[in-house]
Amino acid sequence: MNKTDAASAEAVAGLQAWAAATLPAAFVQRVSAGAKRGLDRLLRALEERLPESPFLFPEDDIAIQSVRFFVAELVRETLFETLQEEVPYSSAVQVEEFREADTPLYIRATIYVERESQKGIVLGSGGAGIRAIGTAARRKIESFLDRPVYLDLWVKAKPGWRRKQSGLEELGYERRSDES
């Protein structure tokens, strides 16, 4: 139960009685997350109830996605930050080349947009837009990979890619099984 410091004693007692009667094998912990009270007790209670098991993944794994996935997402994130609402929802980023043996690491990525007119927005006047996106994205990628990076960005129009199953699949988006 959260916000126990703000609720009346009657309300807390009533909720505790309801939880004990309704929730199977329930354990009720009173906490005030805002005031940071009762959190240690809650964490200990949760820890006691967690089953012991071996690691399911190697200890140093941080995700199941590839480094290329994260690089593409960092570029796309930079598109969102730089262009705000102009183009990002119509954009996708695909890493085309990733040469780890090179120093600096060479990454060639393509930014796909839906319309030719959007290419100009991404490129910006005299290439200023793509340079700004590339510089900011490169810094993020270098921080993520902890090594120098040469980021080579290209912009291409892929008309209607978001509305075509084949376009989505080409860019690495899978159709969810719960969709018809």
- Across residues 71-80, what is the average pLDDT? 94
In a domain, 178, yes or no: no
Identify whether the C-beta of residue 113 lies closer than 8 Å to the C-beta of residue 79. no
In a domain, 44, yes or no: yes
In a domain, 107, yes or no: yes
65 secondary structure, DSSP code: S
Copy the structure tokens of residue 143.
């921080």
In a domain, 3, yes or no: no
If asked whether residues 76 and 149 sit together in one domain, one would say: yes
Q: Which segments within 86-147 are labelled E, that is strand? A: 92-99, 105-113
For residue 86, name the pLDDT band (cuts at 50, 70, 90).
confident
Paired with 108 in beta bridges are: 97, 152
Determine the pLDDT at residue 175. 60
Q: Which segments within the chain are labelled E, that is strand? A: 92-99, 105-113, 149-157
pLDDT digits (tens, 9 = 90+) for 93-103: 999 999 999 89
If asked whether residues 101 and 26 sit together in one domain, one would say: no
If asked whether residues 145 and 77 sit together in one domain, one would say: yes
pLDDT at 87 over 80: no
Determine the pLDDT at residue 180. 43
Full domain range(s) for residue 34: 9-49
In a domain, 58, yes or no: no
